[in-house]
A and B are shown apart, each in its own frame.
Chain A
Amino acid sequence: AEPRRALDDEMLEELEDMLVQTDLGVETAMRISANIAEGRMGRRMSSTELKELLAAEITRIMTPVARPLPLYSKKPQVVLVVGVNGAGKTTTIGKLASQFKAAGKSVVIAAGDTFRAAAVEQLQIWGERAGVPVMVAAQGSDPASLAFDAMTKAEADGADLLMIDTAGRLQNRQDLMEELAKIVRVIRKKDPDAPHNTLLVLDATTGQNAINQVETFRKLADVSGLVMTKLDGTARGGVLVALADRFGLPIHAIGVGEQIEDLDAFEPEEFARALVGL
């Protein structure tokens, strides 16, 4: 059997280090280890037992935020997808569109990244894969007016869902964040309750900057939920725990690959166990 040791500072430090290496952040790692230690110092336990405790604690924190993308009866339900460059927005839209289509929804996609080279072509291919029409505008044109036109078309077509892709933008770029705010304003002219969901896509390889990303995008674009991509790599996405703690935003899905089916529901227990290496 695995050796047991009395829980001491050294063991706690090892625990903290392990958590830090998942990008949980020092502060959150220390707090969670302290929670585990409370009333247990000196108690003999194996490393696996300690990890089980930890996984249970993280599961407890993450369970309230594990919620699928809510669907409304409103037609069209507008889903705006935002995030920093290269996070996986366009790919995630393709995957989501395919899932909704399979669930019997009629979906329209708007190619709101009118900036990046071949962003439109990329999304068009995803539209074909998902079997969903993609509305496009010329490169360099105003993404807000495309969003407006897309709302009009989705309404006219009686679509259930309109998903709007946007160009990647770093949250410290005020001009680009203002452009995003404008897209939201224009959408609201059509429907004051839209966008009904604003998804912030986070890359699992990102470290502590994810906290700034959520903070700023939430403030300027009213983010309603998160998707974390690239969890098929070795990055563990521990920053989600810090985010759950601070912002409590729901996590709707996780990206686990580049193929159309590589989008899973966020499972708190599975996530927590992977995080602590169980």
Chain B
Amino acid sequence: MFENLSDRLGGVFDRLTKQGALSEDDVRTAMREVRVALLEADVSLPVARSFVKAVTAKATGSAVTKSVTPGQQVVKIVHDELIKVLQGEDEPEALRIDNPPAPILMVGLQGSGKTTTTAKLARRLQEREKKRVLMASLDTNRPAAMEQLAVLGQQIGVDTLPIVKGESATQIAKRAKQQASLGGYDVFILDTAGRLHIDQVLMDEVQAVRDIAQPRETLLVVDGLTGQDAVNVATEFDGKVGVSGVILTRMDGDGRGGAALSMRQITGKPIRFVGLGEKMDALESFDAQRIAGRILGMGDIVTLVEKA
């Protein structure tokens, strides 16, 4: 069912053996396939549309040489553009966590992986950047959410803010901030309850938390298996809370990861990390090249064209 893009384009260009430049007609036919490939990879429709438009302009009139087929040529153009969008114009700066105690706010839908990722990130900052990290759960909603973070903290040897039952999310945020300064921590990470972007009460709550904590980074944690809803999630969280970066989880699954493109395009913010499992070390830096190949359901063809 899910063909990769080069298979799709192979069919389109079968009868087209002449060399020269890609005509408008060729490109139009090819772009129908590109669009379907993106949608099957769960890229949000409006994002797929604008992407196809950008690529159409680039592909029309582009030269096809002896060494590549028209299909390969289109794949390369699409792939390069994907990387460009996913990567952004220039390399993202490092996480802004220099002024201690630097607050990081983790937000996202229910079950997206915030708590797990909070602990993974804390471990990474502690091990790689020798930061002293404090984690706090502001999740007064989900049963045993605070215990979950506390257990993870113990597993990785990172402190968690002591649990005080009955406090509100904003009260916990204040206490975390205070504890982070008094305790001499470099970074404090606030794990929040999962919330729907249309839940007015909970979106107000996270705004209040943001205003108290003044986070240097607000990271939107998104399930890498997300479908068309990615566009709503990105728009609303960025609009209401202000997002500085994105983390994609469950990229160890066999999803195509089109949400990466949607997230990047809509927020304009870097994708910082990808979650690749449930274990505490399963967090990696984002690699645009790898995700681009995955969205297109392929990888090798592109290297092939590059060599040609």
Contacts and interface: CB of A to CB of B under 8 A. Distances in A.
Nearest to A170: B253
B207 interface: no
Contacts of B278: 85, 115-116, 168
A207 B227 contact: yes
B223 A26 contact: no
A21 interface: yes
B226 A205 contact: yes
B256 A208 contact: yes
Interface centre among A23, A25, A117, A171 (most CB of B within 10 A): A117
B147 A258 contact: no
Interface stretch (B17-25, B35-43, B65-73, B82-90): B35-43
Contacts of B41: 208
A20 B39 contact: yes
Contacts of B226: 205-207
A74 to B, nearest CB: 30
A233 B109 contact: yes
Interface stretch (B55-63, B138-146, B166-174): B138-146
A255 to B, nearest CB: 10
Given A20-B39, A23-B227, A84-B250, A121 B197 contact: no
Interface stretch (B110-118, B127-135, B263-271, B299-307): B110-118
Interface in A76-91: 84-88
A26 B112 contact: no
B142 A258 contact: yes
Contacts of B45: 17, 20-21
A22 interface: yes
A209 B254 contact: yes
A173 B277 CA distance: 10
Question: Is the contact region of chain B dominated by helix, strand, or loop, or is it mixed?
Answer: loop
B254 A205 contact: no
A235 interface: yes
B152 A172 contact: no
B148 interface: yes
B227 A235 contact: yes
Interface string A82-113: 00111110000000000000000000000000
B151 interface: yes
A211 B227 CA distance: 12
Interface in A182-222: 203-209, 211-212
Given A85-B278, A234-B232, A209 B142 contact: no
Interface string A215-232: 000000000000000101
A205 B229 contact: yes
Nearest to B255: A209
A25 B227 CA distance: 10
A148 interface: no
Contacts of A206: 223, 225-227
A85 B258 CA distance: 19
Interface string B100-116: 00000000011111000
B148 A118 contact: yes
A26 B2 CA distance: 11
Contacts of B256: 208-209
Contacts of A171: 253-254
B36 A26 contact: yes
A207 B143 contact: no
B181 interface: no
A6 interface: no
Contacts of A235: 227-229, 232
A203 to B, nearest CB: 7
Contact of B253 (A84, A115, A203, A232): A84
Contacts of B143: 121-122, 125-126
Contacts of B232: 234-235
B212 interface: no
Contacts of A204: 229
B152 A117 contact: yes
Interface in B1-29: 1-2
A15 interface: no
Nearest to B119: A117
A208 B144 contact: no
A189 B231 CA distance: 47
Contacts of A211: 1
Given A88-B111, A118-B147, A233-B198, A21 B225 contact: no
B50 interface: no
B225 A122 contact: no
Interface of A: 17, 20-23, 25-27, 84-88, 115-119, 121-122, 124-126, 168, 170-173, 203-209, 211-212, 230, 232-235, 239, 258
Given A122-B143, A171-B253, A207-B227, 12 more contacts: A118-B145, A203-B223, A205-B226, A205-B233, A207-B226, A208-B2, A209-B42, A209-B254, A234-B197, A235-B228, A239-B227, A258-B142
14 contacts: A20-B228, A21-B44, A21-B228, A86-B111, A117-B149, A117-B151, A117-B155, A118-B145, A118-B151, A126-B143, A170-B254, A207-B258, A212-B255, A230-B111
Interface of B: 1-2, 36, 39-42, 44-45, 109-113, 141-145, 147-152, 155, 196-198, 223, 225-229, 232-233, 250, 252-256, 258-259, 278
In the A-B complex, the 5 residue pairs with the closest CB atoms:
A207-B227, A86-B111, A207-B42, A125-B143, A118-B148
